[in-house]
Amino acid sequence: MSFKLIASYVADWVILIAFGLAGYAINNITPNKHAFSLEDRNISFPLHDDTVSIAVCGIVSIVAPAAIILVVTFLVVPGPTAHKGISQGLIWKRRLWELHASLLGLAASFITTWFIINGMKNLLGKPRPNLLARCQPDLNNIADYVVGGVLTATSDGRLVTAAICQNPDSSIIDEGFRSSPSGHSSISAAGLVYLTLFLATKLGAFIPFLHHGTYRRDESAHSAFPSRRHYRQITSPIPLEQRGSDQQAPLETPKDLAATRKEAAAPPLYLLVITVVPLFTSVYICVSRWYDYQHHGFDIIFSFLIGFMTSLVAFRLYHLPLGRGAGWAWAPRSQDKAFWAGLGSNNYARARDMSEGRGEVENLV
């Protein structure tokens, strides 16, 4: 790889780190505080300890996937299709590239999610289900904090501000207004759904399907035993003088006719189990936020979808589609397109002048 190409990927990491630091800075800003009603049952739940702490969530969702990616990459790359004569240097280059692409995708998924959720948390300022337990409101002077709502004969529908809270720990109050999006739910999805996709492509654990180019419209390919089925040769019609007799036209058995059912098969179940464990772990972390009274149901689902989408985009950014790329990551960018492909080109992997052989990264990785 040229210095220019390496510098372009260093720039990618620098950009991700910058967004990560920006997300951390945003997380330390005092959030907006939405007005609330003291009679709202949706924010009247008790303050409960986290079943999954933020530290454990980070280890399970980020550190563990990175370690698993490292181990799996070194175990399965280059795979059984590599010729025995391939040099160890080339094999190690391919391994390191696969590892780099996979970790870069994981980082992109996590940091994008981290930046989005921290910004939205502070902007929305939505009360958590346990806000009143955090707030410890001043019930003797409610009228001093009313900003809206209507007081009726049957209920106190007045809305108050966060100034009514008497809890001496302002950080607990601030966290009470960060219900949406859920950090645990989105981060776990960003890391663990990405890991599920990574394992699916590397282990070949996905639902079988027919490629468009291999699908046969001829119904003969769907018969029970297409290779045993006889066909009348269209090019050898029955002569008129032989029609009605017992003599039949020549028969042939096409040897290249394959049954559609043989175009794919289900992978071993143990591979599927290994693949979906990270996904189910993410779901467990999400559900724990519900019974810990930390987030409303919509917040959890919405946050999971944020992490799911970022992981999907990050995975496809650096890996070929599931089932179609044989488990490989995309190749590095071409050296002369390291920072920009330019107008008239939508392919970052192919050099501008292929006739001169410049930028043929396949020879390197």
pTM, full prediction: 0.84
What pLDDT does 233 receive? Answer: 44
C-alpha to C-alpha distance for 33 and 163, rounded to whole angstroms: 10
**pLDDT surpassing 60 at residue 337:** yes
Angle, helices 269-291 vs 297-318, to 10°: value is 140
Q: What is the pLDDT of residues 205-262, one digit of tens each?
A: 888 877 666 555 656 655 566 655 544 444 455 555 555 555 554 544 455 556 677 7
> Do 69 and 103 contact (CB within 8 A), yes or no?
yes
> Do 11 and 345 contact (CB within 8 A), yes or no?
no
Q: What is the pLDDT of residues 88-143, one digit of tens each?
A: 888 889 999 999 999 999 999 999 999 999 999 999 999 999 999 999 999 999 99
DSSP for 82-125, please give it: S-TTS-HHHHHHHHHHHHHHHHHHHHHHHHHHHHHHHHHHHHH-
**pLDDT surpassing 70 at residue 173:** yes
Distance set, CA 302 to CA 36, 55, 61, 105, 120 (Å): 21, 22, 18, 22, 12
Mean pLDDT (whole number) for 82-93: 84
Task: Report the Cα–Cα distance between both ends of the chain, in Å, rounded.
Answer: 9
